[in-house]
Chains A and B, each alone.
With several copies, the nearest count.
Chain A
Amino acid sequence: EGEKYILVSHAPDSDTWWNTIKNGIALAGEQVGAEVEYRNPPTGDIADMARIIEQATASGPDGIITTLADFDVLKGPISAAVDQGIDVIIMNTGTPEQAREIGALMYVGQPEYDAGFAAGQRAKDEGVTNFLCVNHAIQQPTVGERCRGYADGLGIDLGDSMMDSGTDPSEIKNKVLAYLSANPDVDGILTLGPVSADPTIAALQENGMAGAIHFGTFDLGEEIVKGIKDGTINWGIDQQPFLQAYMPVVILANWDRFGVLPGNNINSGPGFVTKDALTKVEEFAGEYR
């Protein structure tokens, strides 16, 4: 009772997707009766994130839950925490192999590249031959991996199909419009999260290509769910961030209390969310989904 767990993410303050994570740990903390904290580097600088993990280690929590956004950078601080007897669970980014290498208990999440690859394969089957990948966080290395995986899954060279869109919705919308009218042969779009997906939906509605162009996206949100429902979006890849946050807290608490631990890593995604199973998603999008 009263254990302290700290979750450290690599996301800048402005990245709205991480909200679900905050809610996930808060709920889990409440349910198991542990104290939970969320921390992130304000600008998304992964080197700053390393300092935060060191800080978290120094404050002596019972466990740290962290992403592995850049293995090189975070290897040192995380293994130092592990070696001091702090239990670590890797969530969201990274791979199970890397998690094992630095001595983490387990991995809960969706390896970005693999998820992108799966998305690419599916899109290929659905007939995509030429794509646009809207990246709203070009400076962050992790999300870009999704584009790379997607391109490889499609078997196309990434080339300059990855757009540095910025985060302003009007700019994203208009950049997408400009790109599509300059490249009429594009028949597939991948967005990397609600920040880029919402304006892209608006763009497609405006130029009338909604439903006519193959549109896949990562992560969920209110608008994305609506888009899936009305057919603008073919599928959303749900990596179930809620699980990524909720599970580690519960697992750590049970490990600390009873010494029980699942024998395997948990792949929270990729799960393709299509029109069919939407009710729950709709209700909790942006909050727990």
Chain B
Amino acid sequence: MADTTDERIKEISPLRRALIRPELGGMVGTVAVFTLFALFAFDSGMFNSQGVMNWSIVSAQFMIIAVGACLLMIAGEFDLSVGSMIGFAGMMIAVFGVVLAWPMWIAILITFVICCALGALNGWIVVRTGLPSFIVTLAFLFILRGFTIYIPQTVERKTIIGGIRDAAEGDWLAPIFGGKIGQPIFQWLGDMGVIGVFERGTRAGQPVVDGIPMLIVWAIALIIFGHILLTRTRFGNWIFAAGGDAEAARNSGVPVNKVKILMFMFTAFCATVFAVCQVMEFGSAGADRGLLKEFEAIIAVVIGGALLTGGYGSVIGAALGALIFGVVQQGLFFAGVESSLFRVFLGVILLFAVILNTYIRRIITGER
């Protein structure tokens, strides 16, 4: 019983072994995408400071919802109501903060509570009835969107409620979602000529990029949190287990229902972060916000190597998936591709990414 080697296992080179990880597909994709755009759209402004900020923000948005969707998907469920939740959360803030004129921080906190509770409700129905989350969250997709249109229509006779920026003026919590950090550094960089300054208009002399929006900070924070939670904690092991085989996990003492409900809540939390950042930036909440975002989140996660059926994936991968998604979307504009073809590209990239990921996963898990 002492032989620790097995002659039936062919050699795998250490390099190959180090490379073969769930994120690999996302890494390859990222490199490919950047190479491509560096070749075809380099002088379009895509890689100057403003251009970089441009696709970074779009990617950060995708990342925020992708982190939630990723953990949930690894836990074996998914949430089609993310998009509607974004619209709903924004509207709640507008209703509380503008219509009812409560202090903005209360409006934000209450919105977080309501949305996480809705996420929990989603999860509770899924675990209690054993229904597929596709159906349950599809129902919530419709229900939440319906209320998002109905509520402002009833209370304000509008479907866009503006004035949120004014209402948030001087609030302590709002800048955590809508502010920017690092302005002095950017001003200095602008003065040094590292990044361009505006040449005309009202802001002439200011640097074209004047700070890092909190949106990006949130994205990075959520990615780090999600990654550590998943790979380095006991709870992370439970997430994998719940998604890999709920029955087996339950038999082994993993509180599967709790894990799933918490992940639904976390997804709702991420959607709310997205919504709050958005309403703080644009100052208005509309009934049409977040349309189709649920698909975009799922696509980013899947491009990042997670398995739609659960139990396998990585937050870093999902973040790379979101980056690819964001860069491709904006890059096509920089490259001047006819914009209606964007969907075609998106579909094709999605297909290629998942095929690559499947190949990688087969190698990892042994060709089953």
Contacts and interface: CB of A to CB of B under 8 A. Distances in A.
Interface of A: 12-16, 18-19, 22-23, 26, 37-40, 42-47, 50-52, 54-60, 70-73, 75-76, 79-80, 82-85, 103, 138-141, 144-145, 148, 158, 160, 162-171, 173-175, 177-179, 181-183, 194-195, 198-199, 202, 207-212, 221-223, 286-287
Given A164-B339, A212-B200, A182 B291 contact: no
Contacts of B329: 171, 175
B7 interface: no
Contact of A70 (B58, B200, B284, B292): B284
B138 to A, nearest CB: 14
A20 B364 CA distance: 52
Given A139-B145, A177-B50, 20 more contacts: A16-B159, A16-B160, A45-B291, A45-B292, A51-B54, A54-B57, A59-B44, A73-B282, A73-B283, A138-B149, A141-B286, A148-B157, A160-B336, A165-B339, A169-B278, A170-B61, A173-B282, A181-B51, A198-B284, A286-B162
Contact of B199 (A56, A85, A287): A85
Contacts of B159: 16, 18-19, 138-141, 144
A54 B54 contact: yes
A166 B295 CA distance: 14
B46 A45 contact: no
A26 B198 CA distance: 30
Contacts of A22: 153, 157
Contacts of A79: 201
B340 interface: yes
A70 B160 contact: yes
8 contacts: A12-B291, A14-B288, A19-B153, A45-B288, A46-B286, A70-B282, A83-B202, A139-B145
> What 5 pairs across the A-B complex have the smallest Cβ distances?
A14-B288, A72-B284, A141-B160, A83-B201, A181-B45
Contact of B282 (A44, A199, A208): A199
Contacts of B250: none
Interface of B: 41, 44-46, 48, 50-51, 53-55, 57-58, 61, 145, 149, 153, 157-160, 162-165, 196, 198-204, 206, 208, 278, 281-284, 286-293, 329-330, 333-336, 338-340, 342-343
A133 to B, nearest CB: 11
B289 A168 contact: yes
Nearest to A40: B339
A162 B130 CA distance: 39
SS class, residues of chain A in contact with chain B: helix
A265 B36 CA distance: 42
B272 to A, nearest CB: 15
A51 B330 contact: yes
Contacts of A103: 201
A85 B200 contact: yes
Contacts of B53: 54, 58
Residue in A12, A71, A141, A207 whose Cβ sees the most chain B Cβ within 10 Å: A141
A75 B163 CA distance: 12
Contacts of A14: 145, 149, 287-288, 291
A60 B51 CA distance: 10
Contacts of B149: 13-14, 138-139, 164
Nearest to A35: B336
B330 A72 contact: no
Nearest to A175: B333
A160 B338 contact: yes
A123 B48 CA distance: 31
Nearest to A213: B201
B98 to A, nearest CB: 11
A70 B54 contact: no
B291 A168 contact: yes
B54 A174 contact: yes
A170 B334 contact: no
Contacts of A42: 292, 339, 342-343
Contacts of A70: 160, 162, 282, 284, 286
A260 B164 CA distance: 38
A195 B282 CA distance: 12
A16 B288 contact: yes
A178 B288 contact: no
B157 A23 contact: yes
Given A15-B288, A158-B157, A182 B334 contact: yes
B201 A210 contact: yes
Contacts of A166: 291-292
Contacts of B44: 59, 181-182
Nearest to A164: B339
A79 B157 CA distance: 28
Given A13-B149, A42-B342, A208-B198, A195 B286 contact: yes
